[in-house]
Structure 1
C-alpha cells in the first residue's frame, strides 16, 4: 500500500528531476546564445513586431494635391494624414505624378505609400520646414523639421517603389556645409560660422535644455531627410531616396524598425545613408547605399549630450545590402558617447574605388563610449581605398577632439570575408595604452592587393584564423 508520505516523496523526486532538466536546458540555451552570437541575432529579428494597417485608403489628390511638380502640396499631405489617423489609420496614397511639398509629419497607424511612378519633391525654401525637436550631428536641438518626420508615433510606415527627392545640390542646401566642393565660397554663410555648429555643441556641454537650443533661420544647420524620433514599430520599404540635404534615414530613440529594399543615392556632404542613433532592434536588409558619406553609420550621441541621454544603440542588424560609394560601408561613430553593442552584418557586397573602408569604428577621448560585440560574416569586398577594417580611438576631424573619456573597443569579429583590393591596410587599429583595442578576430578571411598587412597600436589579442593576406597566412598576436 502506497502511503500519502510515499506519494509526496515521489512527487518531490519527480519535481526535483524536472527542475534539474529545466536548469540544464536553460544552461544549454544560454551557452548556445553566448557561444553563437548569430543565434542571438535570429532571436532579435523574431522579436521585432510587424506594422499592420487597415486597407482603407486616403488618396492625397482627394485632399487637393496637384501633381504638376510646382504647386506646394504641404496642406494636402497634412489633411490626408490627419484624416487617416483620426479614422483608425490606413494608407495615405501618393499616386503616380510629381508632388512638391514642404515637411511631411506622419502619425501613428499611417502608411505613406508611393505608387511606382510617384515622386515627392521637397521644397528648397527653409520656411517650409517648421522648427521641431530633432538632432544634428548627435546633438539634440530645436531646428528645421526633417523632410519627413514622426515623433512619438507607433505603427507607422513609408512604402512603395516611388521616389523621395530632396532636390538638394550645390546651389541650395549643400552650400550650407561650408564645403568648397559643394558650391560654398568665401563670404557665403554656413554651418561653420562661429555662431552656428560650435555654439550648439557648447550649449550641450553646458547642459542647456534642448527647448532653449533654438536654431533654424540664420544658423545654417541642414535638416535630416527621414527621421523617426522616439517611435516604435516602423517600416520603410522599397522606396528610392535621392538628393538629401543631410543625413538620410535617421531613427533616433526608436525601437523595432525594419528598413527593407530601400535604395539611397545621394552624394552630398554628410549624406550618410542610414544613421540609427540611441536606437534598438533595427533591421536593415536588401538595401543599396550609394552615398557622399558613410553608407550606414551607427550613432549614440555626441560628447556630453550622448552621456546625458545615455541610451546605447544595440541589436542593429544589416543583411543582404550593397554598398557602393561612401566613406565607409558599415561604420560605428563618431557620435558614439552612449555606446554601441550587438551589431550584426552579414551577406553584404561592398565595392567601389570611392569606398574608403569596409568596416569602421571611430571615436576619441572626447566622445568616449563602449563599443563591443560587433559581428561580421559573409562579406564580399571588391575595392576599398584605405583599409578593410579600421578601429580608431583617435578620430579627429573637427579640430581638438581630446578629453577625459577614454573609449573602449572590444570583441570585433570578421568571418568568411573576401577582398579583391584591400587598399593601404588590411587592419588599422589604434587604442590607448590604458584601453587597448581588444579581442579582434579574422577567421576565414582572404585579402588581396593590400599595401601593408596591418597598422596596430595598443592592440591586445588579435586573432588571425585561417586568414590569408596577399596569399600569405597571417599569425595571431596576443
Structure 2
C-alpha cells in the first residue's frame, strides 16, 4: 500500500533530509539506489520560462502530478488530472512566478492546487519566492485541499489569487495555510474568493505546526518562524463543514491580518471558529444554518 512505507523508504527520506540540512552538495545526494523507492513527479519543469500546458489528460502519477520548479511565466489550462495514490497533488508551483492556472479539473488523492517555495536550507540558499499566481475557474472533484499554501515555503510566498472555483463534493480543507518552526520565510497577500463547495472539514485553516512524518523522523536542525500576514477569504458558500475557520498561529510570531467575509455554511458539525496567536482577525457576514 502507498501508506505503508517500508523501512528502506523511511531511511532514505531521513538520509536525504539530513544531507540537505548539512549542506551536502545537490549532485552528491544520489538516492536512486537499492530499495529506496523514492517516487518521481510525473511532469516536472525545472527553471523554464513561458510554459504552456493545454488540453490533455493525466492519470495516476506516482507522486506530485505537475511540478513547476523555479519557473517564470506560464499558463496551465484545460487539463483533466486524476491521481489517487499517496502524495498525489494535482499541481505544485514551487519557487515559481507569474503563472495562470485556469479551467482545469482535479481529482486527487492529496491536495489539488498547491503553492510551495522550497524546504529549509536549500530554499534559504536559493532565495526565490513563489509569487504572482492566479488560479481560476477550476473544478475539484476530490482532494485533501482546494488551495494549499505550504508546508514547504522557505523561499517565501506572496500574491496568490484563487477565484471562481468549485469543489462540489468534498475536500478536507478548502483553504489551508500550513508551515512549521523549521521553514522561516513569509506568506503574505493570499486571496480566495467566489467559491462553491460541498462538505469540508475546515473552510479556512492556518496551522503553524505541520510537520507530518518529519516530526519524529529527523530533528530540528535550525528554528525559523514563518511570518504570515494578509490572508483573505471572501464570498464562499459551503453545504456543510466541521468548522468554519481554525487559526493556529505561532506565539513567537503571531499571524496578522486575516479577513473572512461573506462566508455561509448550511450546517456546522463541530464548532464555528477557534483562534490562537492571531492579530487582527476581521470577520464580516459569516453565517451558518439553512437559509430560507
TM-score of Structure 1 vs Structure 2, range by shorter chain: over 0.9
Report the 3-state secondary structure (helix = DSSP H, G, I; strand = E; otherwise coil) of the residue aligned with 1:220: coil
1:397 aligns to what?
212
CA distance in structure 1 between the aligned counterparts of 2:235 and 2:274, rounded to whole angstroms: 21
Does structure 2 retain, via aligned residues, the 8 Å contact 1:189–1:220?
Answer: no
> Aligned ranges for residues 303-342 of structure 1 at < 5 Å?
303-342=120-159
The Cα offsets for residues 39-95 of structure 1, whole Å up to 9 and x where unpaired, read as xxxxxxxxxxxxxxxxxxxxxxxxxxxxxxxxxxxxxxxxxxxxxxxxxxxxxxxxx
2:275 pairs, out of 448, 456, 473, with 456
Does structure 1 retain, via aligned residues, the 8 Å contact 2:267–2:290?
Answer: no
Stretches of structure 2 that go unaligned for 5 or more consecutive residues are none
1:366 aligns to what?
182
Superposition deviation, residue 340 in structure 1: 0.4
Q: Give TM-score, length-normalised by structure 1.
A: 0.58
Does structure 2 retain, via aligned residues, the 8 Å contact 1:239–1:262?
Answer: yes
Q: Give TM-score, length-normalised by structure 2.
A: 0.93
CA distance in structure 2 between the aligned counterparts of 1:244 and 1:371, rounded to whole angstroms: 29
2:87 pairs, out of 261, 270, 273, with 270
> Aligned ranges for residues 192-341 of structure 1 at < 5 Å?
192=10, 194=11, 196-218=12-34, 219-341=36-158
Superposition deviation, residue 190 in structure 1: 4.6
CA distance in structure 2 between the aligned counterparts of 1:471 and 1:244, rounded to whole angstroms: 40
Structure whose CA Rg is larger? 1
Report the 3-state secondary structure (helix = DSSP H, G, I; strand = E; otherwise coil) of the residue aligned with 1:449: strand
C-alpha RMSD of the superposition: 1.7
Between structures 1 and 2, the one with greater helix share: 1
1:350 aligns to what?
167
Report the 3-state secondary structure (helix = DSSP H, G, I; strand = E; otherwise coil) of the residue aligned with 2:94: coil
Superposition deviation, residue 257 in structure 1: 1.1
Report the 3-state secondary structure (helix = DSSP H, G, I; strand = E; otherwise coil) of the residue aligned with 2:92: coil
CA distance in structure 1 between the aligned counterparts of 2:8 and 2:82, rounded to whole angstroms: 24
> Aligned ranges for residues 417-456 of structure 1 at < 5 Å?
417-422=236-241, 424-450=242-268, 451-456=270-275
Q: Give the number of aligned pairs.
A: 285
Which runs of 4 or more aligned residues in structure 1 lie more than 6 Å from their structure 2 counterparts after TM superposition?
Answer: none
CA distance in structure 2 between the aligned counterparts of 1:296 and 1:275, rounded to whole angstroms: 6
> Aligned ranges for residues 75-224 of structure 1 at < 5 Å?
177=2, 179-180=3-4, 190-192=8-10, 194=11, 196-218=12-34, 219-224=36-41
> Aligned ranges for residues 25-104 of structure 1 at < 5 Å?
none
